[in-house]
């Protein structure tokens, strides 16, 4: 494998210093990583810049979209061969980057590669990730009627995907210059979907390499509940995270995978009826949260991104 210059970009916030330290300690052991850029969204404990670590400190938590925007901008100024994007709790295996660099060296088509996160088992089970046209959070009446099947992963370690999270994504600098930077108006959630879907639009195939492994030190809000995402909305203590997820994913779908608005809104209505009947607690809090879901979907429909206020 030819030696490459890789800069890692991490975004952190709140009280997550112990995760960050573990990730940076691991990155120091990976020889191809020449520098790490840490965008600090006003976390409670601060880290200091060193020769290996550059800290970009912000006065308030501006969200992941702005964090990665600034981190990528800073990395590109140093003109590396690749930028490796990681969440602050993504602990890569010591050979994770080597596997991805080998993928780029061997690629025969225009492609981008990301690491496999061990808590995303559904990705392996489905043989990759594809959006169903006009589906709402993956729900589609048409596919239910047709009993849509998926291709299972066999011996190939590369899972084809339409989009991937930031965490584990390795991008050549020329790809970043091609597709630009994240849309900061998403603030939090689905900005990674929007960003990586640009690769697909540019004819770049996206693959998750199951041999390049990342362990998440903390689970995402919707995975902690261990129930379907919309059911988790009525249980979570991280309600603003849930509302950003719903508004932003709906906005992304409307602007990227919808070919028939009529079919899309039928899917939305049918699925929300299911949520109302089977997931929503029939009490004051349940009705309140269901109302917030509807408000977030309306914001997506009218194209209103940016920070959410207390009443959505």
Q: What is the pLDDT of residues 88-131, one digit of tens each?
A: 999 999 999 999 999 999 998 999 999 999 988 899 999 999 99
Sequence length of the chain is 312
Q: Rounded to an integer, what distance in angstroms lies between the CA atom of residue 48 and that of residue 36? A: 12
Evaluate whether 173 touches 81 at the Cβ level (below 8 Å): yes
Q: What pLDDT is attached to residue 221?
A: 59
Evaluate whether 98 touches 1 at the Cβ level (below 8 Å): yes
| Tens-place pLDDT, residues 235-273 | 999 999 999 999 999 999 999 999 999 999 999 999 999
Q: Rounded to an integer, what distance in angstroms lies between the CA atom of residue 135 and that of residue 250? A: 10
Q: Rounded to an integer, what distance in angstroms lies between the CA atom of residue 162 and that of residue 82? A: 21
pTM of the model: 0.93
Q: Rounded to an integer, what distance in angstroms lies between the CA atom of residue 134 and that of residue 258? A: 5
- Which residues does the chain have with pLDDT short of 70? 1-2, 147-155, 220-225, 310-312
| CB atoms closer than 10 angstroms to residue 239 | 15
Q: Which two tokens stand for residue 158?
A: 């590369």
Q: Rounded to an integer, what distance in angstroms lies between the CA atom of residue 278 and that of residue 237? A: 20
């Amino acid at each position: 494998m030819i030696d490459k210059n890789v800069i890692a970009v991490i975004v952190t916030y709140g009280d997550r210093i112990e995760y960050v330290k573990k990730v940076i300690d691991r990155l120091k052991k990976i020889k191809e990583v020449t520098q790490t850029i840490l965008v600090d969204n006003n976390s409670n404990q601060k880290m200091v810049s060193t020769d290996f670590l550059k800290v970009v400190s912000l006065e308030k938590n501006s969200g992941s979209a702005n964090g990665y925007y600034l981190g990528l901008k800073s990395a590109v100024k140093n003109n590396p061969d690749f930028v490796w994007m990681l969440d602050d709790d993504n602990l890569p295996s010591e050979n994770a980057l080597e596997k991805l660099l080998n993928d780029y060296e061997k690629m025969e088509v225009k492609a981008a590669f990301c690491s496999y996160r061990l808590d995303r088992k559904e990705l392996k089970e489905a043989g990759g990730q594809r959006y169903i046209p006009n589906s709402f959070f993956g729900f589609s009446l048409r596919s239910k009627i047709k009993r849509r099947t998926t291709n299972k992963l066999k011996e190939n370690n590369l899972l084809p995907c339409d989009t991937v999270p930031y965490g584990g994504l390795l991008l050549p600098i020329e790809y970043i210059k091609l597709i630009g930077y994240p849309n900061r108006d998403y603030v939090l959630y689905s900005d990674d979907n929007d960003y990586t879907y640009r690769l697909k639009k540019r004819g770049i195939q996206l693959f998750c390499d199951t041999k390049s492994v990342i362990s998440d030190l903390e689970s995402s809000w919707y995975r902690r509940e261990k129930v379907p995402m919309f059911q988790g909305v009525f249980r979570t203590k991280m309600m603003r995270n849930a509302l950003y997820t719903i508004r932003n994913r709906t906005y992304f779908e409307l602007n990227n995978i919808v070919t028939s608005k009529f079919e899309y809104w039928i899917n939305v209505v049918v699925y929300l009826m299911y949520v109302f009947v089977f997931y929503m607690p029939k009490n004051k809090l349940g009705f309140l949260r269901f109302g917030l879901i509807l408000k977030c979907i309306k914001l997506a429909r009218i194209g209103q991104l940016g920070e959410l206020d207390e009443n959505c």
